[in-house]
Structure 1
Amino acid sequence: MVKKLVITGSNGLLGQKLVKLFLDKRNYEIFALSRGENRLSNKEGYQYIEIDLLDRNLLEKTLLEIAPDIIIHTAAMTNVDACELNPEECDQMNIEVVKNLIDYCQGREVYFVHLSTDFIFDGKKTGLYKEDDPANPVNHYGLSKWKSEKLLRSSGIKHSVLRTILVYGLVDRNDRSNIVLWVKDSLESGKVIRVVTDQLRMPTYAEDLAEACWLAVSKEAQGVFNVSCNTLLSIHEIALAVADEFNLDKNLIKPVETNALNLPAERPVRTGFDLDKSVKEINLPLYSFTERLQAFKNQLDSYYGSRSS
C-alpha cells in the first residue's frame, strides 16, 4: 500500500536528504513542505508545497488535503543564539508548530517523527546521555525543543523523537553552513578560525540521520532515540580532523574557550549520546566520525566532479 509522507523543512539539510532517501524507497507518495522556492535539484517524483508553517489555518488545510499517513517534522529554528535573542520567534516555530501538527494528528492514524537535540541537556553528566536522562536545558533553544518533546509525550499520538547532535552534510543549495563545511571552506580560503576546546560533541552525518528516520518509520518505532556518530570529540578536535581529511593547514585553527567568544546563549559542555537503545530497537548502524568524514569527502569529490564534467 502506498503511504503518504509529509516532510517539513524540505529545503533544509536533513529535509533534502529525506526527500532523496524516500524517493529511493517504494510505496511512498512524498509531499515536501518548506518556505520559498524548492532548493532540491531534482524536482521530480514528489510534490513540493511552498508553505509558512506558522500559518495554522493554512497548515491544517494543507494537511487535510494531503491526508498523510506519516509526518517527519524537521523544520525548526535552530540557530542557538538567534533563539536566545528572539525567544518568542523561537517558541512560535519550535513549540507552536509542533502543537498544531499534534492537533492535526489527534484522532487520526498518523505516525509522527520529530527531530530534537542534545541541547535539552545541561552537559554536566560525566558519562554518555541515555534517552531517559533528565533534561535541564541551559539555553532557550534547548528549552523550546524540550517543551515540544513534552507536548508529544502527553499527546497520545503515535510518534518517535530522534535526538541528534551537530549535523553536517552537503545539500544542493543552502544559505547556511555547518561545522564541517565551515571549517573546510574557511581553511581553503586561508582564514584563521577560532574553535572551542571545551565543548564535546558527537557529530552526525546528515545521511545517517535520514537513515535513522527511515528506520523509525519502517518499524513505526515509538519513544525517544539518540542518533549520532559514536565518537566524542571537542569541537576543536573536530576541526583538526577536518583539516587532516582535506589536507588543509591546521595552523589556521586557533584554540579558544567558549567564554572568550561572548556568545548570547550558553552551551552545554558535554553532550555525547549512549546509542545502545537505538542500535537495539531501530538497528541504528554505528560509525566513527573519521569513517563518516571520509564518506563526506567522497561525496563532495563526486558532487563537484560531476558538476565540472
Structure 2
Amino acid sequence: MRNNFSKTKKSKSEGKVLTVFLIIIAVLLVTMTAAAVFFLYQEKESREKAETAQENLTVKVDGLEKDINQVKKEKFLLEEKNKEADDKINGLLDELELEQGLREEMKKEAASLNEKLEEAKAARQEAEKKNEDIVKFQEEISQLQSQLDKILEEKKALEEKVQEQIQIEKNRVGVSQLLPSDGSQQSSDTLEEKVDLSKIVVSPLKAVEGLVLSVDVDTEFVIVNLGSKKGINMGQILSVNRGQEYLGDIQVTRVQPEMSAADLIPPFSSRVVRKNDQVVIKP
C-alpha cells in the first residue's frame, strides 16, 4: 500500500514536473513565437523603412541627377556666356585700339592744323603788315599825285599865260602893221604900257619826281612810287638822288599803274640806296 501510495505520489510528482515542463516549454514556445513575430515585424518595418529610404534615395538620386543635368546646362550656358563675354571683350579691346589709333591720328591732325594755323597767323600778320605798307604807299602816292596835279595845274596856267602873251604879241604886230608909221611908236608904247613883258617869266616844266619805297639787297632791285600813270615805261632809266647828291641810275623792269620795279645799274649798289631817296626821270 505504501508502495502504491509512493508510486502514486511519485507519478503525481512526475506529472506535475511534466506539466511544469510542458508549461515552461509552452511559455518558451509562446515567447519564442512572440519574439519571432516581433523580430519579423521589426524586420518588416525595417525592410519597409529601407524600401522607403531606398525609394526616397532613388527620388533624391533622380533629383540630384536632374540638378546635375540642370547644373550642366547652366554650366554650358555660362560657358557660352563667357565665350560671348570674351568675344565682346575682344571686340571692345579692338575698338579701344582703333579708338586709340584714331585719337593718335586726331592728335597728329590737330598738331598739323595748329601748325597750319600758326603759319596762317604768321601769313596774316605779314599780310597785315604789307597792307599797312600798301596803305602807307597809297597815302604817299596820293600825296605825290596831289603834288603832280598841282604841278599840272600850274603848268596849265603857265601855258595859258604863254598863249595869252603870244596872242597879245600877235595882236600887237597886227595893229602895228595897220597903223601909219608915225603912230607906230605910240601904239607900241601903248601896248607896252598895257602889258609889261619883263614881268612874264617862262620857267621850264618840272621833272616828274618819286621816292624809293623799298630796297631788296639780295636781288639788287628797288621799288619806286612812279608807275604807268606818271608816264613810266619798261626799260626807262631813272636817276636816284639824296638831296642834291646824285647816287646812281636804275632801269625799270616792271611797271604797274602806281609803282614800278627797277634794277640797279652797276656800279650803283643796294648798299648805297636807301628808302625815301628821290627818283627822277633821266632826260
TM-score bracket, shorter-length normalisation: under 0.3
**Which protein has greater RCO, CA pairs closer than 8 Å, 6+ apart?**
1
- From the two aligned structures, give the one with the greater helix fraction: 2
**TM-score in terms of structure 1 length:** 0.16
